[in-house]
Amino acid sequence: MRPDLGTCEVRVTIGMCVKNSEATIKEAVESVLTQDYPSQSMELLVVDGRSRDRTLRILEGSLRGAKIRVRMFSESEGLGRARQIVVDNASGEYIVWVDGDMILGKGFVKKQVEFMDHYPDVGIAKGKYGVRINGKLEGVVATLENVEFLLGTASEGRTDSKALGASGCVYRVKALKQVGGFDTGIKGVGEDMDVENRIRRKGWQLHVSPAIFFETRRQTWKALWSEYFWHGSGGRYMFEKNKRAINIGRMFPPWAILAELLRVPAAYRLTQRKLVLFLPFHYAFKRAAWFLGFLESLAKVGE
């Protein structure tokens, strides 16, 4: 029998792995503190990657007087280590991952917990991406990124995606510990894809749930290029560890254009915006950055 939500038992650990997020961290933390889920049943574990901006100062100010239990850690070894610190210190049955550029819908935690309680065979449930309506027009780059991610979680239910990404996900701690947690050798990106694959291979299901969250997108082509170049650099380690985890052919820009063309009709039905006609270019641009980052990382290994 499930414990009553009014008890003081922690059921949900909120894991925040942040670094240099001063522009967005305040809203992210506030969205956690204003959840309509009992504060005594949540805890917040923050792992800072040695931020060099005002992230920590803003965090401390926002968390002053917080009604939920808060613990803060510091690390300098990368995302694999940061997420494992959360796992090692989590008191909850579930971990909800919140990045420094995310905003949770008010009922996010409650919906994720109810979903996991209802589906005991699910190891990971990804929330659905939402688009914020705040009277401020998003630029072309951010809008196309939003549409891309909206398409990825448009359908609720079981998913075979190889890269859900930890942000906006709830993880069952039992499943995480069964596979040995995160690979702390992963310094850059890919720690979430790696653990997703191992959890799936153990027989756990991965789903998209009804819970809604939001992310702040890159606003310029330069920022988008830098982000995906970094993803490509991290992809090299993942590819060496498990060559089936990444389909290199699909990252090649010509293939990316064709694959995205097939998604344009669905994007238009979802948004009713002609801007989605630029999705193939947008996707090819990101994949070119990823591919070059991957190749540069390979070249460095060979030196």
pLDDT digits (tens, 9 = 90+) for 52-62: 999 999 999 99
**pLDDT given for residue 91 in this prediction:** 96
- On the question of pLDDT at 2 being above 50, the answer is no
Q: Looking at residues 143-167, what average pLDDT do you find?
A: 87
At residue 20 the predicted structure's pLDDT band, cuts being 50, 70 and 90, is very high
Percent of the chain at pLDDT exceeding 90: 57
Three-state DSSP at 42 gives: strand
Cα–Cα distance between 41 and 90 in angstroms, integer?
12
Burial class (CB in 10 A: 0-12, 13-18, 19+), 44: buried
At residue 121 the predicted structure's pLDDT band, cuts being 50, 70 and 90, is very high
Cα–Cα distance between 72 and 47 in angstroms, integer?
6
Cα–Cα distance between 30 and 53 in angstroms, integer?
19
Three-state DSSP at 66 gives: coil
- On the question of pLDDT at 298 being above 90, the answer is no
**pLDDT given for residue 132 in this prediction:** 63
**pLDDT given for residue 9 in this prediction:** 87
**pLDDT given for residue 302 in this prediction:** 57
Short-list 225, 199, 185, 205, CA closest to 79: 185
- On the question of pLDDT at 135 being above 80, the answer is no
Three-state DSSP at 168 gives: coil
Instruction: Tell which phi-psi region holds residue 293, choosing left (phi > 0), alpha (psi between -120 and 50) or beta.
Output: alpha
b/e per residue 135-146 (b: at least 16 CB within 10 A): eeebeebbbbbb
At residue 6 the predicted structure's pLDDT band, cuts being 50, 70 and 90, is very low
Cα–Cα distance between 217 and 148 in angstroms, integer?
11
Rounded CA Rg of the chain: 19
pLDDT digits (tens, 9 = 90+) for 194-248: 999 999 999 999 999 999 999 988 889 999 999 999 888 877 777 666 656 566 5
User: Are 16 and 100 contacting, i.e. CB atoms less than 8 angstroms apart?
Assistant: yes
Q: In the chain, what are the domains?
A: 1-217 (3.90.550.10), 220-303 (no CATH)
Q: Looking at residues 34-43, what average pLDDT do you find?
A: 95
Please report which helix (H) or strand (E) contains residue 109, including its range.
Answer: helix 108-118
Cα–Cα distance between 151 and 7 in angstroms, integer?
38
pLDDT digits (tens, 9 = 90+) for 67-98: 999 999 999 998 999 999 999 999 999 999 99
At residue 112 the predicted structure's pLDDT band, cuts being 50, 70 and 90, is very high
Short-list 17, 18, 184, 145, CA closest to 86: 17
> Model's pTM, two decimal places?
0.88
Q: Looking at residues 148-157, what average pLDDT do you find?
A: 86
What the block records as the tokens of 68 is: 């939920």
Please give the mean pLDDT across all residues of the chain: 87
Contacts of 209 (CB under 8 A, 6+ apart): 111, 112, 115, 125, 126, 127, 128, 156, 170
* DSSP state letters, 114-153: HHHHH-TTEEEEEEEE----SS-PPPHHHHHHHHHHHHHT
